[in-house]
Amino acid sequence: MLSDIEIANAATPLEIAKIAKKLGLKTADIEPYGHDKAKIARPTLERIKKNGKKGQLILVTAITPTPAGEGKSTVSIGLADALKRLKQNVALSLREPSLGPCFGIKGGACGGGYSQIIPMADINLNFTGDIHAITAANNLLSAMIDNHIKHGNTLKIKKVFFKRAVDLNDRALREITVGLGGKINGEPRADGFNITVASEIMAILCLAEDLTDLKKRIEKIIVAENASGEPIYAKDLQAAGAMAAILKDAVLPNLVQTLEHTPAFVHGGPFANIAHGTSSVIAAKTALGLADYVVTEAGFGADLGAEKFFDIFGRLSGLFPSAVVLVATARALKMHGGVAKQDLSHENMDAIKAGFANLKAHIENLRKYNVNPIVAINKFATDTPKELNLIKKLCNEMGGEAVISEGWEKGGRGCVALAKTVMRNIKNPTKTVLYNENLNLNEKIKKVATEIYGAKSVSYTKEAEEAIKKFEKWGYGKLPICIAKTQNSISHEKTWLGAPKGYDFPITEVRLSAGAGFVVVLSGTINTMPGLPIRPAAEDIDVTKGGKVIGLF
């Protein structure tokens, strides 16, 4: 059987103008980046925005990730290709991969097998330069903060909140000291880096309605506080204009295609475990203005990605799904049931029954948003008919529906049954959120921790408590919350598999992203700059003499 990379390399992409034509776009509506990728032109975006929403949004989420792999992107792409096979006008709206995970553990993030988006190597690496532009805009603001302090500090900056960014996993940059080397370099102070995809600039780009809104959001970034404890904004440094200039092209959504030539918008890439985890509002609204069905995904498990999709992305954009697909695998359920990774190829009905607690918790959580998810069982070669039928049976007993998905092996053809089930279950969005904006921040945190994560109580460090009081005093108590925690468990502790219950959920730090429009709440040992593993994926990546990237998967 061909590998993912061999399948992607064997694909013959259509000229990007032909992909645009599938959505009713003309050559003048796109700005090509080579032959097989393009941005949507600004005047075209304005026209689509004026015409309004046309399509139905389908959200793909998943159970809690395991090292066995769940294949959420593979299912999303296969589902879109299957809808196209059923003669539907469909588009994808997906996130851009981050360089950090590509070179770390995860490798590429363009789907797998015969359900991939292409050009795979370009999308995974530099693509159209969006993430690099976000990094540059972020670090320009950092430079302007320290430059202001160096040249008189008329704003009386006392404590700086805003961090630098780089789109790599570099744990050595988590905590640094800047301004060393004498007075010519400024005053020494503690600083640190976020990975770019966890930065507020990335979140702002993904939640902005257009370039004008992006600039307004940048102005609202709280970069520091003064000696009187009052916030200092990016607009006080007159930085927003230059930052918006850097981002003027990055804000335009990117158009590519699947192996089966289904149009795919790939734009923005915030992490779901330390950010809000969706592709951009602009890309989603553009796709919805052009296609009857738009398949999108939320990062990591439904406790992170789907919760934030409803409570942050949906609340701020007004976009809610008409159907939700919840991806699960027999292998992952067995792992949640206590089976070691090396033993997952063996049939184990008892482990599936035990691990089903995780899938059950996610189904129950999604029903709190007034949706009944369709479970997509992403089939692996080692799955047995008995295991797959058991998962279906357990879902049916909960009043749910489970469908086998074979997108990896068969592409869109392997997801036709899933596509038909989704179309049958489409309904008008309920626009349900978990909590009311008028709750205070502590109440919102408790609501998510107890109702989604299964915690019994919430505890806070002294620093977290003080930050919450400060942010509410500044008038930001009505913002939604973005909880940053491990993706490997519904809880804050990555080793707790299944569906943990009745524990204390610890809050270690609270940060304000006023420009993005949410409050970041960190729990457990999570941090916003990942590190590389013992053997990073970068060791296997290379480029041939002819310029072909190899080893990315």
Q: Which phi-psi region, left, alpha or beta, contains residue 179 (left: φ > 0; alpha: ψ -120 to 50)?
A: left
Closest to 406 in 3D by CA, of 380, 383, 425: 380
* Same domain as 144, residue 285: no
Is position 432 within any domain?
no
pLDDT band at 297 (very low <50, low <70, confident <90, very high): very high
Is position 534 within any domain?
no
pLDDT band at 67 (very low <50, low <70, confident <90, very high): confident
pLDDT band at 402 (very low <50, low <70, confident <90, very high): very high
Is position 543 within any domain?
no
Q: Which of 377, 394, 423 is the last residue of a domain?
A: 423
pLDDT higher than 70, residue 5: no
The pLDDT of residue 8: 67
Q: What is the pLDDT of residues 414-453, one digit of tens each?
A: 999 999 999 999 999 989 999 999 999 999 999 999 999 9
* Same domain as 134, residue 91: no
The pLDDT of residue 187: 85
CATH of the domain at 331: 3.40.50.300
Q: Which of 220, 247, 274 is the last residue of a domain?
A: 247
Tokens for 145, please give them.
Answer: 């903060």
Q: What predicted TM-score, i.e. pTM, was given to this entire model?
A: 0.96
Closest to 59 in 3D by CA, of 316, 355, 288: 288
pLDDT higher than 90, residue 174: yes
The H-assigned helical ranges of 318-384 are 330-336, 349-367
The pLDDT of residue 1: 58
Do residues 320 and 310 make contact, with C-beta atoms less than 8 angstroms apart?
Answer: yes
Distance, CA of 457 to CA of 297 (rounded, Å): 30
* Same domain as 170, residue 118: no
Distance, CA of 502 to CA of 513 (rounded, Å): 30
Pick from 90-94, 427-431, 490-494: least confident: 427-431
pLDDT band at 184 (very low <50, low <70, confident <90, very high): confident
% of the chain residues with pLDDT over 90: 89
Q: Between 169 and 70, whose confidence is greater?
A: 169
Pick from 1-15, 161-175, 200-214, 325-339: least confident: 1-15
* Same domain as 260, residue 395: yes
* Same domain as 271, residue 203: no
* Same domain as 115, residue 49: yes
Torsions phi, psi for 437 (to 5 deg): -65, -20
Torsions phi, psi for 292 (to 5 deg): -80, -30
* Same domain as 110, residue 23: yes
pLDDT higher than 70, residue 10: no
The residue range of the domain holding 186 is 130-247
Is position 83 within any domain?
yes
The pLDDT of residue 50: 93
Q: Which residues are catalytic?
A: 72, 74, 95, 106, 272, 300, 380, 408
- Tell the residue number behind the tokens 């995809």, with chain if given: 197
- Tell the residue number behind the tokens 């949706």, with chain if given: 371
pLDDT band at 299 (very low <50, low <70, confident <90, very high): confident
CATH of the domain at 235: 3.30.1510.10
Mean pLDDT of the chain: 95
For the chain, what is the domain count?
3
State how far Cα 323 lies from the chain centre: 18
The pLDDT of residue 271: 86
Q: What is the pLDDT of residues 194-222, one digit of tens each?
A: 999 999 999 999 999 999 999 999 999 99
Is position 552 within any domain?
no
Mean pLDDT of 290-296: 98
Distance, CA of 143 to CA of 135 (rounded, Å): 12
The pLDDT of residue 471: 98
* Same domain as 329, residue 274: yes
Q: Which of 361, 394, 423 is the last residue of a domain?
A: 423
* Same domain as 260, residue 399: yes
Mean pLDDT of 527-541: 91
Give the 3-state secondary structure of 10-33: HCCCCCHHHHHHHCCCCHHHEEEC
Is position 171 within any domain?
yes
Pick from 255-264, 457-466, 544-553: least confident: 544-553
CATH of the domain at 491: 3.10.410.10
Is position 530 within any domain?
no
Q: What is the pLDDT of residues 320-379, one digit of tens each?
A: 999 999 999 999 999 999 999 999 999 999 999 999 999 999 999 999 999 999 999 999
Is position 282 within any domain?
yes
* Same domain as 395, residue 300: yes
Secondary element (H or E) of residue 514: none
Give the CA count within 13 Å in the CB-facing half-sphere of 511: 25
Do residues 403 and 417 make contact, with C-beta atoms less than 8 angstroms apart?
Answer: yes
The pLDDT of residue 108: 75
Closest to 196 in 3D by CA, of 126, 280, 138: 138
* Same domain as 22, residue 121: yes
* Same domain as 382, residue 265: yes
The pLDDT of residue 2: 62
pLDDT higher than 70, residue 95: yes
